Amino acid sequence: MLLAAGCGAFDSEPPVIAFDRDFDAVGRSPAMELTVSDADSPLQGVRVVLTQDEQEVVLVDDAFDDPALQTVSYDLGGLIADTFQPQEGPARLTVTASDDSAGNNEGAASRDFRFDLYPPELQLLSPLLYINQGGSANVLYRVSDDADVSGVQVGPHFFPGFPAEVPGDEDARFALFAVAYDLPADTPVMLVARDVVGNESLTRVSNRVSPRAIRERDIHVDDDFLRKVVPEIMSRTREIRDQGSLVDTYVEINSRLRELNHARIRELSAASGGEFLWEGGFLQLSNSQVEALFADRRTYYYDGEPIDRQDHVGFDLSVVARYPIEAANSGRVVLAEYFGIYGNAVIIDHGAGLMSLYGHMSSIDVGPDQNVERGQILGRSGETGLAGGDHLHFGLFLHGVPVNPIEWWDPRWIEDHVLDPFDIAAPAPQQLSEAVQ
Ligand SMILES: [Zn+2]
């Protein structure tokens, strides 16, 4: 504070007028707060006027008679939404405030800004898609350049779009997205475009999600298993504390550490760029036997009592001990370290939010930021982390949402569902503007 407090009647500073944020453009009901405060005198009055063309509305006209009142705040966004009929275009807010000092100091401020009321233009270029619960899809669309963000929203999960290489069409975008295996099959799958002030366009992407049968599996854990996995994971994981018994610590690992590991995968996805780093079908580990399927719902028992329930978001594949682990496709290594329930693990970013995870390895031969080829050896299989025996845990994630690898192991599925959508002949831009009028 610049002025010494306690000047009383000789206060020479007017009230301070402050908005909670800078704004050049706002939507129909902006989130915006105004605070008026005076350092040493009570406030006497505050007046806020909003003008646009011929329209002038007094949002606030307060006179105070409270010797203790030196600060007031207003929800300007709410007042605008309740009392003003905004038009697209420029507007001005004028604020005046006076204090109760001898000089009745008056402060004034005004802000020029735009009301932006129209959402971005959004056009679905792909036909309506059929998607499997737990499965992936690719959608092609076009969005106007006033969009700040666009992509596909499926329940709580957002899958951002990236520029699509469609000749002569700079507004074309694509988004790889998934309907998570644990979302209801009737969850709406919506294309979304939002501008900086929050105006939003929505378009339905899919009419039907094919439900997937859930496989229930019982897992019995015994003391031998707990003694094998719990001390190792604890010794290498800061986040997990001893819960007083092996079985309680195991449940903490199986539930909370599992969630922390998956949160980290979501974080890593944020850095995935829009370029496909892969080519051709994804490889299932050569010569491997499937030991456990994607999204098995597991109930864990100890001493005959259920102690936990978790979903297995990948495939367990086994060959022989210390089998060389092949990269399912080309990409960039984003994690190569001891990684909680997955033990020694490698995560490869394949671009556009798609990542593959290799868990329980005995050794790792690659490092972070390394580019790897399809089939390149990443290390050897093992039983680190939450593993009872030597096997590979293979997981695929789209922006952190686990997806069924079966689709990506099938080159025909990739052709039909990931690559073919790019071949849709896009209408010329003039046709678009006619279509949205
Ligand atoms: Zn597994």
pLDDT tens for residues 268-287?
A: 999 999 999 999 999 999 99
Distance 395 CA to ligand 1 centre (A): 8
The predicted pLDDT at position 23 comes to 87
Q: Fold match between 122-212 and 216-403? A: no
| 180 pLDDT above the threshold of 50 | yes
- The token pair at 48 is 């806020």
pLDDT at residue number 436: 47
**Rounded distance from Cα 386 to ligand 1 centre (Å):** 8
pLDDT at 433 over 60: no
Distance CA 316, CA 311 (A): 13
pLDDT band of residue 28 (cuts 50, 70, 90) is confident
What's the CA-to-centroid distance between 110 and ligand 1, angstroms?
Answer: 61
Q: How far is CA 73 from CA 18, 77, 360, in A?
A: 9, 12, 56
DSSP string, 112-146: EEEE--PPPPEEE-SPPEEEETT-EEEEEEEE-TT
**Sequence-ordered list of residues with C-beta below 8 angstroms from that of 366, at least 6 positions apart, any chain:** 333, 336, 346, 372, 376, 378, 379
Tokens of 187: 């969850």
> How remote is the CA of residue 385 from the centroid of ligand 1, in Å?
10
- Residue 312 Cα to ligand 1 midpoint, Å, equals 6
Token couple for 198? 């929050």
First to last CA, the chain: 55
CA of 342 to the centre of ligand 1 (A): 8
DSSP of 264-281: HHHHHHTT--SS----SP
pLDDT at position 407 is: 96
Question: Ligand 1 centre from 361 Cα, in Å?
Answer: 12
Distance from the alpha carbon of residue 227 to the mean position of ligand 1, in angstroms:
19
Are 188 and 177 in contact, with CB atoms under 8 Å apart? no
Ligand 1 center from residue 292 Cα (angstroms): 7
CA of 322 to the centre of ligand 1 (A): 16
Give the neighbor-by-neighbor strand order of the sheet with 157-160. Answer: 157-160, 149-154, 189-194, 200-204
Domain 8-115: top CATH class: mainly beta
pLDDT of residue 437: 41
The pLDDT value given to residue 434: 46
State residue 1's pLDDT score: 37
- 364 - beta bridge partners? 379
Q: How would you classify residue 19: left for phi > 0, otherwise alpha for psi between -120 and 50, otherwise beta? A: beta
pLDDT digits (tens, 9 = 90+) for 380-401: 999 999 999 999 999 999 999 9
Give me the mean pLDDT over the 358-365 stretch.
98
- Residues 304-322 have a mean pLDDT of 96
Cα 198 to ligand 1 centroid, rounded to whole Å: 41
Report how far ligand 1's centroid is from the alpha carbon of 406 (Å).
15
| Residue 217 alpha carbon to ligand 1 centre in Å | 13
Rounded distance from Cα 260 to ligand 1 centre (Å): 16
pLDDT-based confidence at 435, cuts 50/70/90?
Answer: very low
Å from CA of 229 to ligand 1 middle: 14
Kindly tell me if the per-residue pLDDT of 170 is higher than 60. Answer: yes
Residue 202: is it exposed, middle or buried by C-beta count within 10 angstroms (0-12/13-18/19+)? middle
- pLDDT for 11 beyond 60: no
Average pLDDT over residues 159-183: 93
Q: How many helices (H) and strands (E) does the chain have?
A: 7, 32
Mean pLDDT of 58-66: 95
User: What's the confidence (pLDDT) of residue 6?
Assistant: 45
In the reported structure, the alpha carbon of residue 137 is separated from the centroid of ligand 1 by a whole-number distance in angstroms of 24
Q: Examine the pLDDT at 307 and tell me if it is beyond 90.
A: yes
% of residues, the chain, pLDDT over 70: 94
More confident residue, 74 or 39: 74
Evaluate the CA torsion angle 268, 295, 309, 152 in order and state its sign: positive
> Separation of 402 CA from ligand 1 center, angstroms?
13
Q: What is the mean pLDDT of the chain?
A: 92
φ/ψ bin of 64: left (φ > 0), alpha (ψ from -120 to 50), beta (otherwise): beta
- Type of residue numbered 411: P
Question: What is the whole-number distance in angstroms between the Cα of residue 307 and the centre of ligand 1?
Answer: 18
Residue 234, Cβ neighbours under 10 Å: how many?
20
* CA of residue 277 to ligand 1 center, whole Å: 25
| Mean pLDDT within 30-46 | 92
How far is C-alpha 212 from the geometric centre of its chain's CA atoms? 24
- Determine the distance separating the centroid of ligand 1 and the alpha carbon of 317, expressed in angstroms: 8
Distance 286 CA to ligand 1 centre (A): 17
- Tell me, in angstroms, the distance from the centre of ligand 1 to residue 13's CA: 68
Taking the centre of ligand 1 as the mean of its atom positions, its distance from the CA of residue 10, in whole angstroms, is 75
Is the per-residue pLDDT at 412 higher than 90?
yes
| 328 Cα: distance to centroid of ligand 1 (angstroms) | 16
pLDDT, average across residues 151-174: 94
Q: Give ion ligand 1 contacts, CB < 5 A.
A: 316, 393
Q: Can you give the length of the chain in residues?
A: 437
One-letter identity of residue 390: D
Query: Which of 256, 234, 224, 221 is CA-nearest to residue 338?
Result: 234
| CATH classification code of 216-403 | 2.70.70.10
Q: Where along the chain do its domains lie?
A: 8-115, 122-212, 216-403
The region of weakest confidence among 8-17, 110-119, 226-235, 317-326 is: 8-17
Which pLDDT score, from 0 to 100, does residue 40 have? 85
Cα 375 to ligand 1 centroid, rounded to whole Å: 20
Phi, psi of 264 (to 5 degrees): -65, -40
- In CATH, the architecture of 122-212 is Sandwich (2.60)
Q: How far is the CA of 246 from the centre of ligand 1 (A)?
A: 21
Judged against a pLDDT cut of 60, whether residue 353 lies above it is answered with yes
Q: How much distance in Å is there from the Cα of 309 to the middle of ligand 1?
A: 14
Ligand 1 centre to CA of 340 (Å) is: 13
Contact 317, 311 (CB under 8 A): no
Percent of the chain with pLDDT over 90: 81
Reply yes or no on whether the pLDDT at 378 is more than 80.
Answer: yes
pLDDT in tens, 196-215: 898 999 999 987 889 888 88
Angle at 259 between CA 256 and CA 264, to 5 degrees: 130
